[in-house]
């Protein structure tokens, strides 16, 4: 068994709980430090995480734990596609502690998110990644995601 296989075997994927919010905010801080369009704001991240946890119909937060310690997370948000006439999901906030990247933790999180989407009736998963983050794009392709011809556009409505 390789080191990566050993690390992967030691990982448990669970649904996040309210007690996990502080650690999830730390992970989001790592993620937003490398993204071009977002900045960490703990109060906003806490509010968003609490909203998802209090309203499971909105989404699911999954965490990767190694010996009880949170080492990664993924956020799966639910909506409805009129094109498909069905529930779909947005995959967000995929982050793994830097020292465990490349050990299969992210793959376990993505596999769990895909399984969750399937079991909750989702017919599609959409994600956004930075256009210049080839490593992330390769990772998502490895898990069956393909580029879309759609262009993501945003309109911020506050601040």
pLDDT-above-90 percentage for the chain: 74
Q: How would residue 1 be classed by pLDDT, with cut points 50, 70 and 90?
A: very low
Cα dihedral value 93, 20, 63, 14, nearest 10: -140
Domain contains 90: yes
What CATH number does residue 18 fall under? 3.40.630.30
Q: How many structural domains compose the chain?
A: 1
Domain contains 130: yes
Domain contains 73: yes
Domain contains 112: yes
Domain contains 77: yes
pLDDT above 80 (res 17):
yes
Neighbours of 73 (CB within 10 A): 23
* Cα-based distances in Å from 106 to 31, 46, 95, 109: 13, 22, 7, 5
Domain contains 147: no
pLDDT above 50 (res 6):
no
Q: Render pLDDT for 51-85 as a digit per residue (tens, 0 to 9).
A: 999 999 999 999 999 999 999 999 999 999 999 99
Are 121 and 87 contacting, i.e. CB atoms less than 8 angstroms apart? yes
Domain contains 159: no
How far apart CA 120 and CA 135 sit, in angstroms, is 29
Are 66 and 6 contacting, i.e. CB atoms less than 8 angstroms apart? no
Please report the pLDDT score of residue 38 as a whole number: 72
pLDDT above 80 (res 7):
no
Domain contains 80: yes
| Residue 124 belongs to domain spanning | 3-142
**Average pLDDT of the chain to the nearest whole number:** 90
């Amino acid at each position: 068994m390789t080191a990566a296989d050993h690390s992967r075997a030691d990982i448990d994927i669970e649904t996040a709980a309210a007690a996990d919010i502080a650690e999830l905010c730390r992970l989001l801080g790592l993620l937003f430090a490398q993204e071009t369009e977002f900045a960490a704001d703990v109060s906003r991240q806490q509010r968003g995480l609490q909203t998802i946890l209090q309203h499971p119909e909105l989404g699911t937060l999954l965490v990767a734990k190694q010996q009880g310690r949170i080492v990664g997370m993924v956020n799966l948000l639910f909506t409805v596609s009129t094109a498909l006439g069905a529930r779909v999901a947005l995959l967000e906030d995929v982050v793994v502690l830097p020292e465990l990247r490349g050990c299969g933790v992210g793959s376990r999180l993505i596999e769990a998110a895909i399984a969750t989407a399937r079991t909750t009736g989702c017919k599609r998963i959409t994600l956004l990644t930075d256009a210049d983050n080839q490593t992330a794009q390769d990772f998502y392709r490895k898990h069956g995601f393909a580029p879309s011809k759609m262009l993501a556009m945003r309109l911020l409505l506050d601040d």
